[in-house]
Structure 1
Amino acid sequence: MAQATEARKVGGKRLQALRSGVDTGRAYPLAEAVKLAKAGAKAKFDETIEISMNLGIDPRHADQAVRGMLSLPNGTGKTLRVAVFAKGAKADEAKAAGADIVGAEDLAEVVQGGTMDFDRCIATPDMMALVGRLGKVLGPRGLMPNPKLGTVTMDVKGAVQAAKAGQVEFRAEKAGIVHAGIGKASFPEDKILENARAFIEAIQRAKPTGAKGTYVKKVSLSSTMGPGVKVDVASLTG
């Protein structure tokens, strides 16, 4: 029964790809792939345009990790909910910058209880002794503040504003795949294309020292419910 259901899903995706004019066996230049991914968004809601990149790395090795933050030139079209661990003047700064949740011990208690109604977590350095105790809760959700990502900082205002303006975090998973939402289907094609190029360039700049052989192996675009569109990797250079 499960196999039959899965077969229908696969068949449905292939049919959807054909209807959207996507040749699943072909890799398209980036600009054309963006056009097709946008055209494939047929749902009644504003679908997210997503990019997925298969990298020639093994993230289990420290010298092959790929992780960072990127401010997309045209934002993501999604408003992140931001939580900030801070006290005093820095807490006031976070609230003024537009943080959705600000606190210290009180916020830690809420998070420890399993309530995490936010997409990004920022902390001032003096709060990390407290936040560190939440690692088992925040870590698995990718919400643990990290100085390398700019989420442990005294520049609370800048970090909150960047998150609200469309900053995305990327991190290669176990299979060496990194993915992110790079806009909405309602965005003009040129805005999606500009975001896609910015994301790809950020991943290329983040190439780890331990990466050997071909670094960017595959790239694909899709909308939330639409068919995947393969991108011609060779077209990304030069």
Structure 2
Amino acid sequence: MAKLGKRTTAAREAFAGKADVTVAEAVALVKDNAKAKFDETIEISVNLGVDPRHADQMVRGTVALPNGTGKTMRVAVFARGDKADEAKAAGADIVGAEDLMEVVQGGKIEFDRCIATPDMMPIVGRLGKVLGPRNLMPNPKIGTVTMDVKEAVEAAKGGEVQFKVEKAGVVHAGVGKASFTAKQLEENILSFVGAVQKAKPSGSKGSYMKKVCLSSTMGPGVTIAVDSATGN
């Protein structure tokens, strides 16, 4: 068995016996133990009482975190003409149509968010097998298929987070960086959990939000009391 390093050992000791703590306690614990040589991402995962195999139990949405994510978001836009110009002016990193489709089909995906105008969907639709598994497929339900390209690009650049429940019933996202203040992280966490709460599907029965966990990129996780995370 590999010997644990001093940092890992210290972190595990700090987290020992800690569970179902408040949001503030979780933030303090995770921040204090995020000691990697880079600015670690603070990650949240929420276990939901849903089965996403059923359409009426799918959970997805977007939320604009009040303090952003601390991550530079690379945005690609499928558009032509005036809308392509609008996307570039708004700060999109990559803009194109058939030419962009060919680049993506070739396996070159250098973006974190994909936006498309409605008339581009016949082209974008051909990329479902490439973009779908990466959760990059534009969708009108989350505002990434739209004629308001400017607003969509600015939202993505401004710290908007997309979320979608995975097969195991888990939703996760980055809610900031270890360099954020405790207050900034707490506000982002409450905003994210609130958005997931609002996205509760009609088919969800019984307990919806089962567990909330916070961790950093390289650190252990700690569970947050659901009542504290939801503000109840």
SS of residue in 2 equivalent to 1:75: coil
Matched, 1:226 2:186: no
The superposition leaves residues 175-234 of structure 1 with CA deviations (integer Å, 9 ceiling, x where unpaired) of 101000000000010000000000010011111111111111111111111111111113
Runs of 5+ consecutive residues of structure 2 not aligned to the other structure: none
Out of 168, 173, 177, the residue aligned to residue 170 of structure 2 is 177
Matched, 1:142 2:138: no
* Shift of residue 235, structure 1, vs aligned partner: 2.6
* Equivalent residue, structure 1, for 2:61: 68
Return the alpha-carbon distance in structure 1 between the equivalents of residues 223 and 17 of structure 2: 7
Report if aligned partners of 2:49, 2:209 keep a CA contact under 8 Å in 1.
Answer: yes
* Shift of residue 27, structure 1, vs aligned partner: 1.6
Structure 1 residues 145 and 124: alpha-carbon distance in aligned structure 2, compared to 1, 3 A threshold: same
Return the alpha-carbon distance in structure 2 between the equivalents of residues 142 and 234 of structure 1: 29
* Shift of residue 17, structure 1, vs aligned partner: 2.1
Report if aligned partners of 1:57, 1:211 keep a CA contact under 8 Å in 2.
Answer: yes
Structure 1 residues 14 and 116: alpha-carbon distance in aligned structure 2, compared to 1, 3 A threshold: same
* Equivalent residue, structure 2, for 1:205: 198
Q: Which amino acid aligns with 1:108?
A: M
Runs of 5+ consecutive residues of structure 1 not aligned to the other structure: none
Q: Which amino acid aligns with 1:86?
A: A
Q: Which amino acid aligns with 2:25?
A: E
* Equivalent residue, structure 1, for 2:98: 105
* Shift of residue 26, structure 1, vs aligned partner: 2.4
Out of 15, 25, 28, the residue aligned to residue 32 of structure 1 is 25
Out of 11, 16, 22, the residue aligned to residue 11 of structure 2 is 16
Q: Which amino acid aligns with 1:173?
A: E
The superposition leaves residues 57-101 of structure 1 with CA deviations (integer Å, 9 ceiling, x where unpaired) of 111111111001111010000011100000000000000000000
Return the alpha-carbon distance in structure 2 between the equivalents of residues 220 and 211 of structure 1: 21
Out of 99, 102, 119, the residue aligned to residue 126 of structure 1 is 119
Matched, 1:81 2:74: yes
Matched, 1:58 2:84: no
Over the aligned positions, Cα root-mean-square deviation in angstroms equals 1.7
Q: Which amino acid aligns with 1:16?
A: A
* Shift of residue 13, structure 1, vs aligned partner: 5.3
Query: Normalized against structure 1, the TM-score is what?
Result: 0.92
SS of residue in 2 equivalent to 1:53: strand
Out of 104, 108, 115, the residue aligned to residue 108 of structure 2 is 115
Return the alpha-carbon distance in structure 1 between the equivalents of residues 203 and 9 of structure 2: 37
Return the alpha-carbon distance in structure 1 between the equivalents of residues 111 and 92 of structure 2: 10
The superposition leaves residues 143-191 of structure 1 with CA deviations (integer Å, 9 ceiling, x where unpaired) of 1110101000000000000000011110111110100000000001000
* Equivalent residue, structure 1, for 2:145: 152
Query: Normalized against structure 2, the TM-score is what?
Result: 0.95
Report if aligned partners of 1:24, 1:229 keep a CA contact under 8 Å in 2.
Answer: no
